[in-house]
């Protein structure tokens, strides 16, 4: 009987040892993931400026940021805001991203997001040259 008890205790001990140890990294969110949790969602433009002058026509502007690190916009008739996949700039403390070759600086807190960037595209026509400048999109969570 003692051998049977010993084997049962040994099996229980092995089961406890193998299931009790887990990798804590699975539950801890990476800084990248934490930044994305704060940024993900739909943002509505409260104020848009170009070279420190307020722009009209952005009342319906919406920026959607997905968990897949994608910028999508609605209501941007001039196609000013960079759209598509973005990547965080290394060593930027998750406050800068690059999308379509444009560096976008992000400042966010509860309920607010400010995205600022400079467009400096090679002029291929008067309209495109007129889009160049420094933009600030002050947005609120939608």
CA distances from 89 to 19, 38, 109 (A): 39, 17, 19
Q: Parallel, antiparallel, or unpaired for β 133-141 and 84-88?
A: unpaired
Domain range for residue 38? 30-141
Determine the pLDDT at residue 31. Answer: 83
For residue 129, is it within any domain? yes
Instruction: Examine residue 50 and state whether it is found in any structural domain, yes or no.
Output: yes
Report yes or no on 23 lying in a domain. no
* pLDDT value of residue 62: 97
Residue 1 in any domain: the answer is no
pLDDT tens, per residue, the chain with 142 residues: 577 666 666 666 666 666 645 555 555 678 888 899 999 999 999 999 999 999 999 999 999 999 999 999 999 877 899 999 999 999 999 999 999 999 999 999 888 999 999 998 776 655 566 789 999 999 999 8
94 neighbors 40 (Cβ within 8 angstroms): no
Within a domain: residue 15?
Answer: no
Query: Looking at the domain assignment, is residue 95 inside a domain?
Result: yes
123 inside domain: yes
Name the pTM for this structure. 0.76
Q: How many domains are there within the chain?
A: 1
- Tell me if 92 is assigned to some domain: yes
């Amino acid at each position: 009987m003692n051998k049977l008890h010993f084997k049962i205790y040994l099996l229980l001990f092995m089961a406890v040892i193998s299931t009790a140890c887990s990798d804590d990294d699975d539950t801890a969110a990476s800084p990248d993931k934490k930044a994305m949790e704060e940024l993900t969602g739909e943002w509505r433009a409260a104020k848009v400026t170009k070279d420190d002058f307020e722009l009209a026509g952005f009342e319906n502007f919406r920026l959607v940021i997905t968990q897949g690190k994608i910028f999508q916009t609605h209501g941007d008739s001039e196609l000013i805001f960079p759209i598509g996949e973005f990547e965080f700039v290394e060593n930027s403390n998750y406050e800068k991203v690059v999308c379509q070759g444009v560096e976008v600086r992000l400042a966010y807190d509860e309920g607010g997001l400010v995205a600022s960037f400079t467009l400096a595209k090679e002029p291929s026509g008067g309209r495109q040259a007129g889009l160049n400048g420094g933009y600030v999109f002050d947005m609120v969570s939608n």
